[in-house]
């Protein structure tokens, strides 16, 4: 599925005779909910709206980065806020070493379109592919905050 994601303050202008149509794959067009008091998506819960505003500010501060989240042949384009990488190296037999980088990304849960991270999922970001990693008691993600707006997913990148 291809996605066209318009942020609340973005628009799309088509010249006369132009249009949008899906190619060989479905096209999902969506618009995020603006962060104002009357937004029905967030109701009257000021704390939920505040959590959404913090996420929007984090995305903006990190450069509104996107990545491709994949599960088998399906994919989702997601907004990401990368956290600091933690590189590690291990010596293995035969005088070789293996380098591993553990990364965490914050992702807006709505971008996942109903998916929750699971084994085998990957994230393509900044020309690299990361594999979902279990942490703690066998879970693949953490909720960030109290209102299920953002999740943190841990990934590994292996290098020889």
Q: Give per-residue pLDDT as tens, 20-77.
A: 888 888 887 776 655 444 455 556 788 888 898 899 899 989 998 999 999 999 999 9
Q: Is 143 helix (H, G, I), strand (E, B) or coil?
A: strand
The confidence score (pLDDT) of residue 37 equals: 45
The confidence score (pLDDT) of residue 38 equals: 45
| DSSP state, residue 85 | P
Q: Where are the beta strands (DSSP E) in 8-149?
A: 27-31, 65-71, 74-82, 86-92, 96-108, 122-125, 128-132, 141-144
Query: 21 and 27 in contact (C-beta within 8 Å)?
Result: yes
The confidence score (pLDDT) of residue 91 equals: 78
Tokens 């249009």 belong to residue:
19
Q: What residues are paired with 31 via a beta bridge? A: 6
Mean pLDDT across the chain: 83
Rounded to an integer, the average pLDDT of 5-24 is: 77
Q: Is 147 left (phi over 0), alpha (psi -120 to 50) or beta?
A: alpha
């Amino acid at each position: 599925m291809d996605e066209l994601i318009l942020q609340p303050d973005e628009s799309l202008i088509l010249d006369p005779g132009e249009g949008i149509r899906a190619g060989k794959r479905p096209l999902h067009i969506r618009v995020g909910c603006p962060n104002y008091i009357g937004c029905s998506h967030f109701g009257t819960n000021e704390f939920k709206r505040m959590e959404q505003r913090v996420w929007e500010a984090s995305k903006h501060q990190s450069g509104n980065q996107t990545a491709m989240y994949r599960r088998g042949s399906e994919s989702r384009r997601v907004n990401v806020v990368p956290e600091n990488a933690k590189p590690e190296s291990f010596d293995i037999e035969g005088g070789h070493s293996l380098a591993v980088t553990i990364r965490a990304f914050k992702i807006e849960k709505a971008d996942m379109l109903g998916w929750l991270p699971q084994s085998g999922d990957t994230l393509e970001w900044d020309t690299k592919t990361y594999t979902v990693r279990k942490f703690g008691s066998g879970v693949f993600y953490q909720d960030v905050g109290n209102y299920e707006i953002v999740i943190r997913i841990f990934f590994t990148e292996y290098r020889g």
